[in-house]
Amino acid sequence: MGSPALPFVAAVSTPPARAGPFTVGRGEEGVHRRGGHLSRRGRPGGLGLRAASWLAAQGARHLVLMGRSAPAPEARAQLDALEAQGVKVRVARVDIASHDAMADLFASLREAPPVRGIIHSAGVLRDGTLANQTPEQFREVLAPKLQGAWNLHALSQGMALDFFVCFSSAASLIGSPGQSNYVAANAFLDALVHLRHAEGLPALTLNWGSWAETGMAARLERAASARPGAQGFGAIPVQQGFSVLERLIGSAQVQWGVFPVDWTRLAEQLPGLARQALVQGLLGSVPQRVQAPAFRAQLDAAPPNRKAELLRQHVSGQVSATLGMPESERLSGNERLFELGVDSLLAIEIKNRLASSLGRSLRSTLIFDFPTVNGLVAHLAEELELELGTEVQKKQEASREAQGALSAEIQGLSEQELTSLIDQELESALTR
């Protein structure tokens, strides 16, 4: 369970209950019946194309791929290869969020071999702190998953489906910083699947972690690699992911979390996560070392004349890791973090990293108050009441005086005002 090399797969019930690794076989009829259509929603490319190829490998001979965009040349070549194998592929350019457009498409499908299965894998990202999210960003992210999945559900009523699978996200199970809209969209998918199950309809939702190698999932993986919990997460190899799907598609359970994770490392990075009811149900107990971060113990044990340098290396390393910088690239102690590309979301993530590794809560305005490594070190040393050498204490006092006036002004700001200021600072740095 602790190794990130293999996906952690657990059944998810409502409300959350204790669950563990599983072994489950396919249903007796397998993935599909050879005579029918299988519909796959999502742009014809990336993960969606992998799903189509997987269905064909299972023996499907009629596929309908839906998406607003035409397949890219590389995707088109792969679809041509499927057709050369005897698979009939129809690419339907349609907005899945439009009920009328989808109704027309489903009407045309009734004249063809019957639809036997549906896989919904569409998704859009519009990340940002909640204070900076707009209604339009929420609409963009919700549309393919909320309206789109509901249209598939409503329009497939009366069809003798073998399966109805939604590709959801681990984000709706354990959260994801800066992705409130994406979390909400996937939470709807999960709820819809439970509704279908309650109505006696085929239903399966898979809360995938990050996928490797393909499409939006690959972009999600790269973006997530900079996040504070990323040290505990791995990426799902495509072949292994679809092997898991093959095992689960005949399962009696309707919701499964599938993600490679080192729980101990993840809980160290995000202590609050380890206290969530779902995670506690999966773990049984929080690893003991989560309660005492290793770096804090190392810092406390260091001699006074080493504490400041040890803290500086740690702060610099946390900032570099958040920004995805190579270990060989050293940060200047006085370089402003906003000029390195830190925005409001990354500022929160740096603060969370430091809070986790130091074992204490830190102010939400931390990075705005102290926007350099040296400033952060001086402030954190004071917060932790570290016993430092005389020269270090002098530098700390000078830094504290320089930040005093600015901190006084910032403390009166709301979180939304602070977020806007951080993003303005970043924009200003980028246009210099």
pLDDT tens-place values along the chain, 432 residues long: 333 333 446 555 433 333 333 222 222 233 444 445 566 555 555 788 899 999 999 999 999 999 888 888 888 999 999 999 999 999 999 999 999 999 999 999 888 789 999 999 988 888 887 777 899 999 999 999 999 999 999 999 999 999 999 999 988 988 877 789 999 999 999 999 999 999 999 999 999 988 886 555 455 444 444 444 455 677 888 899 999 999 999 888 999 999 887 776 666 666 666 667 776 666 654 444 444 578 998 998 999 889 989 999 999 999 988 887 776 677 888 888 888 878 777 888 899 889 988 988 898 889 988 999 999 999 999 988 876 554 445 555 555 555 554 555 555 566 666 666 666 665 555 455
How far apart (Å, rounded) are the C-alpha atoms in residues 422 and 228? Answer: 19
Residue pair 364/348 in contact by the 8 Å Cβ criterion? yes
- The burial class, CB within 10 Å (0-12 / 13-18 / 19+), for 332 is exposed
| pLDDT at res. 388 | 57
Q: Where along the chain do its domains lie?
A: 7-283, 294-430
Beta strand pairing call for 115-120 and 88-93: unpaired
Residue by residue, DSSP assigns 366-426 as: HHHHS-SHHHHHHHHHHHTT----HHHHHHHHHHHHHHHHHHHHHTTS-HHHHHHHHHHHH
CATH 3.40.50.720 holds for 7-283: yes
| pLDDT at res. 398 | 52
- Residue 15 has a CB neighbour count (10 Å cut-off) of 8
| SS3 call for 350 | helix
What are the tens digits of pLDDT across the range 373-430?
999 999 999 988 876 554 445 555 555 555 554 555 555 566 666 666 666 665 555 4
Which fold would CATH assign to domain 294-430? 1.10.1200
Q: Find the angle CA(330)-CA(333)-CA(337) to the nearest 5 degrees.
A: 85
What are the tens digits of pLDDT across the range 201-252?
999 999 998 888 655 545 544 444 444 445 567 788 889 999 999 999 988 8
